[in-house]
Chains A and B, each alone.
Chain A
Amino acid sequence: MKRVMLTSGAEAKIELCDGIILKSRAPKRYRLKEIDERLRRERTKIEAKLIAEARKSGVPTPIIYDVMNCEIQMEYIDGVQLKHVLDANLSERIGELVGLLHTAGIIHGDLTTSNMILAGERIYLIDFGLAYFDQSIEARGVDVHVLFQTFESTHGGHETLIEAFTRGYRKTFKDADDVLQRVKEIESRGRYRTERL
């Protein structure tokens, strides 16, 4: 079967093979073999686990078919990235999904509108490569902060989008107000005061 390369980043490559997504982490020659193998194996395992856990908590994610050493086989989601179609209505639904995710104790770690796919009626969250389990207000705050930054940098009318997100987030997550308060605080901190890449 032919493998078609979809993306190749610094960390992993995504290929499409017979309607199945293959995500694999490439070895890095610069680091010690022991470190390299440990990281790639651990990160692959954790990512697969988090994708499955998120799905259990009610957030649409690709179905995991198999996890090899450093490769995840999963469902291909055929749809459009939210960055191309985002509006207030969709932003509210993102809020609901992130609320469910945070209720389950999961931090996505890279919430951008490129990592969300609208397929039919459902919004899927993809790329859990930087995700981890954490129940702290701080981790959740940073998670939401990253998303707000994307709204600001790539979408017009970000205030409306943030407002809509907030509505959805409050619906599904009981500690939403604490986290949103922390987001404001994070924004005012020195290290975020000046713009980062």
Chain B
Amino acid sequence: MRRKSKSILGIEGTAWNLSAAIVDQSRVIASAESSYRPMEGGLHPRAAAQHHATHMEQVIHDVLTKGKKNNAKISAVAFSIGPGFGPCLRTVATAARALSLSMNVPLIGVNHCIAHIEIGRWLCNVADPVILYVSGANSQVLSYRDGKYRIFGETLDIGIGNALDKFGRYAGLLHPGGPKIEEIARKAKCYMPLPYVVKGMDFSFSGLTTAAKDALAHAPLGDVCHSFQETAFAMLVEVTERALAHTGKKDILLVGGVGANSRLMEMLNTMCQDRSAKFFAPDKAYMKDNGAMIAYTGLLMLESGAVLSVENSAVRPNYRPDEVEVTWR
């Protein structure tokens, strides 16, 4: 039509959600996804990768068809290159390379964590926040300085989402446990003390998870869910507050799948009020893993020239956000 801006196809599939989207400078043009839900237990990397391989064609077909209806012309293909499950990453990377070659457009490898941050900044229109990034495998407090997102504090063992899922599974809740735990916690009558572990700027959730599992032997599920959430989230908010004080920044941005939890949002909001800071969180659809965040970050990277050759597009399952040279800020 009249659109001059470049459109990027982004593919995300680091864990359970295979998602693709087409994004340009001003909006998300099209998206399609397929989620892997285990019938029991947790996520198996190989089973998740098989799910992605099975549904890749459909998802890509859907998003390209929707894109075509909106006259989007793809200028580059972006994919999440890591961190994530190796088998899942490789499946997505293979599809992205094939698309890039067949459409004859550049290939862009996007860091999954950075993508969460960038789509949050874009949708919330916030320039330089302290970021709390909470998802299944990741829990980090970050802040931008001098060409990189620096990690201020992070989990010493498992991510908060993982902790919630492990506990949920033990309590007989289906994956993912987080939303169900949030629901059940509302019925709680009292709080029971659980281990609160903040070491310096880092936090730890595995001891808390074990203690919460043990507590189920003598306490109602509602009370344990409530106590688990209150304890874990207080740890996250404490470190986020310290980062705010340390950096002197005035905004907080919450990103990642666990960010959809309304109690966590409420706590962050309260903390921000007390420090005269502003709290931002994108719409829930863009908190969980999504193709749009990969596409949008790909767009930023394309414009600053950060493209990959196929030979150099090996996946990076342990790719840390503080390794990324931020060329677009």
Which residues of A does B touch, CB under 8 Å? 9-11, 28-32, 34-35, 38-39, 109-110, 130, 142, 146, 190-191, 194-197
Contact = CB atoms under 8 A, between A and B. Distances in A.
Given A30-B271, A31-B238, A196-B150, 20 more contacts: A10-B241, A10-B242, A10-B246, A28-B238, A28-B241, A29-B271, A30-B267, A30-B270, A31-B230, A31-B267, A32-B234, A35-B191, A35-B230, A35-B231, A109-B200, A194-B320, A194-B323, A195-B150, A196-B322, A197-B246
B156 to A, nearest CB: 9
A148 B247 CA distance: 21
A64 to B, nearest CB: 23
B268 interface: yes
A191 B153 CA distance: 11
A110 B200 CA distance: 8
Interface residues of B, number: 32
30 contacts: A9-B245, A10-B241, A10-B242, A10-B245, A10-B246, A11-B242, A28-B238, A28-B241, A29-B271, A29-B274, A30-B237, A30-B268, A30-B270, A30-B271, A31-B234, A31-B238, A31-B267, A32-B191, A32-B230, A34-B193, A35-B234, A38-B193, A38-B196, A110-B200, A190-B320, A195-B148, A196-B151, A197-B145, A197-B150, A197-B243
Q: Which 5 A-B pairs have the closest CB atoms?
A: A10-B245, A31-B234, A30-B270, A30-B267, A30-B271
B182 to A, nearest CB: 15
A196 B321 CA distance: 11
Nearest to B318: A190
B133 interface: no
Contacts of B85: none
Chain A binding surface, main DSSP class: loop
Contacts of A190: 318, 320
Chain B binding surface, main DSSP class: helix
A11 to B, nearest CB: 7
A32 B244 CA distance: 21
Interface string B302-325: 000000000000000010101100
B152 interface: yes
Given A38-B193, A130-B200, A194-B320, A28 B150 contact: no
B143 interface: yes
Contacts of B152: 196-197
A70 to B, nearest CB: 15
Interface string B274-300: 100000000000000000000000000
Contact of A30 (B154, B234, B246): B234
Given A30-B237, A31-B230, A31-B237, A39 B196 contact: yes
A197 B143 CA distance: 8
Contacts of A9: 245
Given A30-B274, A35-B231, A197 B196 contact: no
Interface in B198-254: 200, 230-231, 234, 237-238, 241-247
Contacts of A31: 230, 234, 237-238, 267
